[in-house]
Each structure stands twice: as C-alpha cells, then as structure tokens.
Structure 1
Amino acid sequence: MNFGSDNIVGASAPVLEAIARHNGGAMAAYGNDDLTKSVKASFANIFERDVQVFFVTTGTAANALALASAVPPWGLCVCHREAHVIDDECGAPEFFMHGAKLSGLPVVGSKLEARDVAAYLKGLPKAVKQMPPKALSISQATESGTVYGLAELSALGEVCRTGGLSLHMDGARFANALVSLGCTPAEMTWKSGVDILSFGATKNGCLMAEAIVVFNTALADALDYRCKRAGQIISKGRLIASQFEGYLAGDHWLANARHANALAKRLSHGLARLPGVRIAWPTEANEVFPIIPAAMDRALREAGAHYMSWTDLSLDRQESVADDESLIRLVVSFATEETQVDRLLEIASAAVSRQAAE
C-alpha cells in the first residue's frame, strides 16, 4: 500500500515495449535520429498546431530550462508559494535563470486567481530597483490536487498578456488534469494563453521522459543551447523518444491518467464517508488530501501504508488541523490496483470502529 507518490512505480508495458523495439541497431545520436524527429512532430497533432519540442529527462530540468527561457537574470517569476518550482527543486529554476527570482503568492488550494495576480503585479514598484515580472508559473494539476478550469486559465492568460508576462505551465501531472477537465490539450494550453509547457510523462508511465513544449516561438530561440549546457541533450536520444512513442500511441497516456484519477476518486469518496475524516481540497486529479484522526494515521502506518504528511498552508481560512488530527497526501498512480485502495479503506474503517469502541 504505497501511496507516497506516482514516481514510485516503474514504466508501463507499452513504454517498455517501445524502448525494446528501438533499442537494436544504430541510429544517429543526440536526437538527430528519425524516431526523435517523428515523435517530436507528433506533438503538433496533439496540440493542433506547430510547436517546438525539447526532450529532457526530469521535471526539474523541464521547469528550470523553460523558465530560464522566459525570465532574464534581472526578472521575476510569480508562482504559488507552494509551487514545485519554488518549494521542491533546490533552487534549480533560479540557478538556470542566472539570478532571477521566484515570488510565491499565498492562496487557498494552490490555485492562483487572476485578480490576485493582477493586484500583486499592480502593487509592484516600477523603479529599476524592483525586478520586473516576466513570467507566471502555474502547476496543472496543482500541489493541492486541484485543477485549473479553462475559464481560470484564460483569465490568467489575459493577465499575463496585459502585463507582458509569459505564462508557464508545470504539467508534471498534465494528463491527469487533462482527463479531469475532459478538454483537449490545445484548450488547456495555448488556446488559454499558455506560452510554454513542461509536459510531464514520468509520473504517468514513462521511465524518465519529459518535454518542454513551446507555443511562443520567441521562447525557443536558445533552448537548444540551454539544454546542452544543462546536460539535457541525451546522446542516445532515441531511448527518450521511444518512451514518448509508447506513451502517446493509442492514447495510452490518457488511459493511464483516467485509471489513476478514477481510483483517487474511489479513495477520496471512501475516506470522506468515515467519521472524523475531511477532504482538505476537492479530489480533481490523482491526489487525495484527507484530514484524518491521529489514531487512524497511526493505524495506517502500522499496517504498512506509505504516504506523506502534508502542509496546511493552503487550507481555507475556515479550515484547520487539530492537534489530534493529521493532514496527509495519498497519490494514486497508473499502476495502483483497486485492491490496494480498498485495503487502505478497510484499515481506516477499522481504526474508526476501534476508536468508537474505546
């Protein structure tokens, strides 16, 4: 019962089969092979327009290099205060931006609202002593498991256009957000004003394969060089491209995300029915954030369940975590089985019954 992350499982069968299929023989190195060119070209079909695509091996690399393309060393990137780019990447975005800064805003449920961003931008001094805002970075899905709707994305896109900012989307769980909304990749990105996307695949079935997808061509000018300097132009590039081939073929990536989202809903609904349990934020992708009694927390961990304790910084002001409660994060992956979800719910339910009998 490991719900610690969607990074804990290996690759899906179609991805592994694609790697094996393209492993034999010789191909041009450093992404100059026909497979890499073909797979990159397939992104134009996914996004319904010409795009520039750069394959990298990690989400940190994708985010850091994407933001470095959008923000000069004297610039500012606005994000949520618990965004992955500011909280979980050891300063990599700021390192690759060569001194530019990230500014995190506090909001409920990790979703930035257009009016709050606009107000923040308006309040910044315009003198040269203030780093000028150059980009807004949002996570889709967010660090609270919530998903920006199309109207919310479009409103943020409009704020960026008005303020002269680029809009970056950290799509580590892009597929999970996409199937949650039931929209097209184009609608969730460039049609809503997104300029550059970190397209995640590792969490949803690949071994290590991420892509920087550029909609605003001006941001792609130096990305080849940035990727090379970061060690992200892989000599055996076909083994990255092959992962994407297996991942995207037959909408395998969407099927994986639907499976994970459905089991997350099952887990969330099951926990919400138990006395003393509250769901901190709506379960809109593949993460569940319940506030549970401390006794349930102990029982789950003693039974071998793995998951993370979570911060309450993005809770609604009317919500809080009491001393005898725990806020936890449970992540469901494409490989999670229904029996694992049901087993956790059984243990949680038994803990409630024992506590009631005491």
Structure 2
Amino acid sequence: TEAGAVYSPAEVAAICAVARAAGLPVHMDGARFANALVSAGCSPAEMTWKAGIDVLSFGGTKNGLMGVEAVVLFDPARAWEFELRRKRGGHLFSKHRYLSAQMAAYLKDDLWRKMATRANAAAQRLSTGIMALPGATLLHPTQANSVFAAWPREGHRRAQKAGAQYYLWPMDQSLDGPGDQPLSARLVCSWCTTDDEIDAFLRLVEGGPAPAPTHVPG
C-alpha cells in the first residue's frame, strides 16, 4: 500500500468478498506486486485469482523495468475487448516489442522475484540501521522495499548537507527548526541498492564522512 503494508491472501480475499457482495469486480494495483509476493511468501495465484481478484496490474517499472506494466485479466470473457481499449487509451506503441522484450527477460528464470527479494532485503537492512539511530522511530512496519521512519532534524540536516538526496514525508516539513525534533521520511530501496550505499547513508545521518560519489543504474 501507500504506507508500505503488504496484504496477505486472506486479507485480499476478505476485501474481494466485500466487493462481491456489492456486485463489483476487483482490480489489484500491483505496482509493487513482486515485492509484496516475496514478502508474503505465497504464489501469484494465491495472491490474485484464488483470492477473488478479477484484474491485476502486474508492475515492472518499480522493480527494474523501464515503463513496462502488464494487465492480467483472469476471465477470458472479459479479455477479448481489452486489446481495443488499450489502443483507444493510447497504450499501443509502434515499437511495442521493446516493452515485450523487457517483460520476457523479467519473467525468465524468476528474475522478477530475485530482484524483489534483493530490494526487500535492502529495505530491511536500512530499517534496522535507522532504528539503531538515537531518537529514531518507524512510522510503519517495513514489509517490502519501502521504509517510513522519523529521526531528529539534525540528522536530516547532516545527511542532506553531505549530499544525501531524499524526500521528507510529508513534504511540507522543514529542515529549519530545533535539531532534536523528529522529521519523517520515505526511503525506497531497489534491486540495485547495495549494502555499502545503505551503510554510507546511515553514516551521513550520524555525521560521518561523506562517501565517494557513485553512479547507480536506475
């Protein structure tokens, strides 16, 4: 979810039951589907159609792909019309094979799960490191690859002055003010977030030396 929470298949089924009672189909926004699936430790089927999901947005952009998502309709009777709607919605590209090639590689040899596993593990390392900082708290449990945490303003000032770039969350907070007042931030890890980068960030918050600049692929 927007707070980094991961629903279990049972929770998804409960939501679907409410929709069914109202005669409504259910669409799952799976922008971080891979991260949620790895965290929940279940199969794609258990998380989707077996729980009552009708349509899944199978996300790839937030797990290493470039502008690639797939729409999965579990009822073939509903799927036939979707080709037309995709075209009318402006999502049929002339060089669509470049998107398809990414998705084919993404699914081969479980690469999509491996990338999500790395991202989730990086977030756990970051979450644990932040919690070791004086005055730090977690705003939400770290269940996937997003960390929502707060720590004293002075730590934010040190980190950003040393070159760390991240958003305060919500964004209307200011770095000006009492140094011991906690400010919250949203930090997201990816498949290419390294242990060294996480440790370097934590050192910046604590006031340690800035690491050498690095380039990380998106």
5+ residue gaps, structure 1, are 1-141, 313-322, 352-358
1:208-287 aligned within 5 A: 208-287=67-146
Give 1:194's aligned residue.
53
Give 2:175's aligned residue.
none
1:140-179 aligned within 5 A: 142-179=1-38
Q: Which whole-Å deviations, capped at 9, do the CAs of 1:46-72 have from their partners, x for residues lacking one?
A: xxxxxxxxxxxxxxxxxxxxxxxxxxx
Give 2:184's aligned residue.
327
Secondary structure at the aligned position of 1:268 is classed as helix
Shift of 1:262: 0.2
Question: Is it true that 1:342 corresponds to 2:190 in the alignment?
Answer: no
Give 1:26's aligned residue.
none
Give 1:108's aligned residue.
none
Shift of 1:218: 4.5
What CA distance in whole angstroms lies between the structure 2 residues aligned with 1:289 and 1:164? 36
Secondary structure at the aligned position of 1:311 is classed as coil
Q: Which amino acid aligns with 2:142?
A: T
Give 2:170's aligned residue.
311
Identity fraction in percent: 47
What CA distance in whole angstroms lies between the structure 2 residues aligned with 1:219 and 1:278? 46
Question: Alpha carbons of 1:218 and 1:160: their partners in 2 closer, same or farther (altered >3 Å)?
Answer: farther
What CA distance in whole angstroms lies between the structure 2 residues aligned with 1:242 and 1:163? 39
What CA distance in whole angstroms lies between the structure 2 residues aligned with 1:168 and 1:339? 38
Q: Which whole-Å deviations, capped at 9, do the CAs of 1:252-295 have from their partners, x for residues lacking one?
A: 11110000000100000111121211000000000101011111
Q: CA RMSD in A?
A: 1.7
1:19-168 aligned within 5 A: 142-168=1-27
What CA distance in whole angstroms lies between the structure 2 residues aligned with 1:282 and 1:217? 38
What is the TM-score with the length of structure 1 in the denominator?
0.54
Secondary structure at the aligned position of 1:153 is classed as helix
Q: Which whole-Å deviations, capped at 9, do the CAs of 1:180-203 have from their partners, x for residues lacking one?
A: 011000011111111111110011
Q: Which amino acid aligns with 1:163?
A: A
Q: Which amino acid aligns with 1:253?
A: W
Secondary structure at the aligned position of 1:308 is classed as coil
What is the TM-score with the length of structure 2 in the denominator?
0.87
Partners of 2:9 and 2:47 within 8 A in 1:
yes
Q: Which whole-Å deviations, capped at 9, do the CAs of 1:86-144 have from their partners, x for residues lacking one?
A: xxxxxxxxxxxxxxxxxxxxxxxxxxxxxxxxxxxxxxxxxxxxxxxxxxxxxxxx111
Q: Which amino acid aligns with 1:226?
A: R
Q: Which whole-Å deviations, capped at 9, do the CAs of 1:145-169 have from their partners, x for residues lacking one?
A: 1101121111111111111111111
What CA distance in whole angstroms lies between the structure 2 residues aligned with 1:309 and 1:227? 36
What CA distance in whole angstroms lies between the structure 2 residues aligned with 1:216 and 1:309? 42
Give 1:35's aligned residue.
none
Give 1:63's aligned residue.
none
What CA distance in whole angstroms lies between the structure 2 residues aligned with 1:251 and 1:196? 22
Secondary structure at the aligned position of 1:283 is classed as coil
Partners of 2:159 and 2:207 within 8 A in 1:
no
What CA distance in whole angstroms lies between the structure 1 residues aligned with 2:143 and 2:78? 31
What CA distance in whole angstroms lies between the structure 2 residues aligned with 1:282 and 1:260? 16
